[in-house]
Amino acid sequence: MENAASAGTCSTPWGSGTKSKADTDAKPLRNITTSQSTCYDRMIFDVKGVSGKIGYHVGYVATFHQDGSGEQIPVNGGAILQILVSAPSYDPATNKPTYPAQAAKPLPGVKITGYKTFKDTKFGASSEGQTQIGLGVRAKLPFRVQQSGDKLIVDVAHTW
């Protein structure tokens, strides 16, 4: 757990409105990991080989529906953050999975037990160059999206 600030000094002026950016260098998604900080929970999308910007569209939704089929996928928590990353979970040249997730199932290898904000994860779909994730959070809290090298990072604050 990172200790960037004590619980009494967390500043999260990020807001809860939808955030998006067009992609300029889409590559396949390789992995998704999470971590905790004093002020927020973090989800990291590893898109190896990216030299430009990673596109994304992140925002709260009332219900999580799988792209393509439109089927509703239940996501536990007080609010659902839908994350679309401009990185397929497969290699477009071979169609082989690069991140082996299954629709409507928790994200493989992601453990969020004991997290303050994250409550559930569900894989939606991966098609047309993007991957869809449903992130169940405790409540509709402020979040930010940033890129660090070949990683797209989504932080969701513990409090307002």
When divided into structural domains, the chain yields a total of 1
Is residue 4 scored above 60 in pLDDT? no
Residue 122, domain member (yes or no) = yes
Structural domain boundaries, residue 36: 19-157
Q: What's the token pair of residue 54?
A: 């990673």
pLDDT digit string, tens, across residues 34-93? 999 999 999 999 998 888 899 999 999 999 999 989 999 999 999 999 999 999 999 988
Residue 14, domain member (yes or no) = no
Q: Is 132 exposed, middle or buried (0-12, 13-18, 19+ CB in 10 A)?
A: buried
> Could you tell me the CATH number of the domain that includes residue 88?
2.60.40.3500
Residue 28, domain member (yes or no) = yes
Q: One-letter amino acid identity for 1?
A: M
Rounded to the nearest 5°, which phi and psi values hold at 94? -115, -15
Residue 4, domain member (yes or no) = no
Q: Is the pTM of this model over 0.85?
A: yes
- The chain-wide mean pLDDT, for the chain, equals 92
Residue 9, domain member (yes or no) = no
pLDDT tier at 8, thresholds 50, 70, 90? low
What pLDDT score was predicted for residue 17? 97
Residue 31, domain member (yes or no) = yes
Residue 83, domain member (yes or no) = yes
31-66 as b/e, with b when 16 or more CB fall inside 10 Å? Answer: bbebebbbbbbbbebbbeebeeebbbbbebeeebbb
pLDDT digit string, tens, across residues 110-126? 999 999 999 999 999 99
What pLDDT score was predicted for residue 5? 46
Q: One-letter amino acid identity for 22?
A: A
Residue 136, domain member (yes or no) = yes
